[in-house]
Amino acid sequence: MPAVHVSDLRHLLDLPEDAPASARNLADHLGNIVRAATAGDPGTAWISALPCRRRPGRSRCPGRIVVLRSELPPRIEWGCDTCEDEGTICGWEGTYLDLREPRAHHRSVNATEVVVSDEVVAALRSLTLLDLSCERLVYQATGLDEGVALMADEDQLDELVGYVAAEANHEPNRRRQQRLDRALAVLSSALREMER
């Protein structure tokens, strides 16, 4: 039976180096949920690109995480769209995981849906040097049956391509570099299509 996770993010932000791997994995999972929920609009539940972390019957759950953020009280509710894993998160406001805009922000009217694979969006989530607007773009990605949808205009996608290229060029781990190179190829192709 899956549990309902009630979490105060402040307890997981600065885990000691000797913290168990399970605690670190949970902190990473909840941190990604906070990023996704705060990158999107409040008051509306949506299916994020984040995969479920459960493994019922030792098989990966195929579900994605649905997030809903409320402003008053500041709380994030989340749950898998396939299994029963769910929870709430508080204590995230003002942390480095909080991707909310500091003031009202209007999305680009020229934004186009760019459909990429789960592998590409996982590579984008692993980038370490994204600015806040690109990080929002990555965590606003919406899960689809056939992949993941990024909503970006030409300038936003060009900026994201630049970050991926820079990190791929300086990545010493060959396997990670190959993942970043594949993501770069997909995003560059989408950018060329937009420029036509």
- Residue 104: the pLDDT is 52
- Residue 56: the pLDDT is 79
φ/ψ of 155, rounded to 5, equals: -65, -45
Per residue in 56-96, pLDDT (tens digit) is 788 999 999 999 999 888 999 999 999 888 999 999 999 99
Report H helices in 4-153: 21-39, 118-125, 132-139
CB of 52 closer than 8 Å to CB of 64: yes
Per residue in 19-28, pLDDT (tens digit) is 999 889 989 9
List the one residue out of 124, 115, 143, 112 whose CA is nearest residue 182.
124
Mean pLDDT, the chain, as a whole number? 90
- Residue 30: the pLDDT is 94
List the one residue out of 37, 30, 63, 61 whose CA is nearest residue 143.
63
- Residue 72: the pLDDT is 85
> CA 121, CA 135: separation in Å to the nearest integer?
11
Per residue in 128-165, pLDDT (tens digit) is 888 998 999 999 999 998 899 999 999 999 999 999 99
- Residue 195: the pLDDT is 84
Amino acid 168 reads A
Amino acid 94 reads G
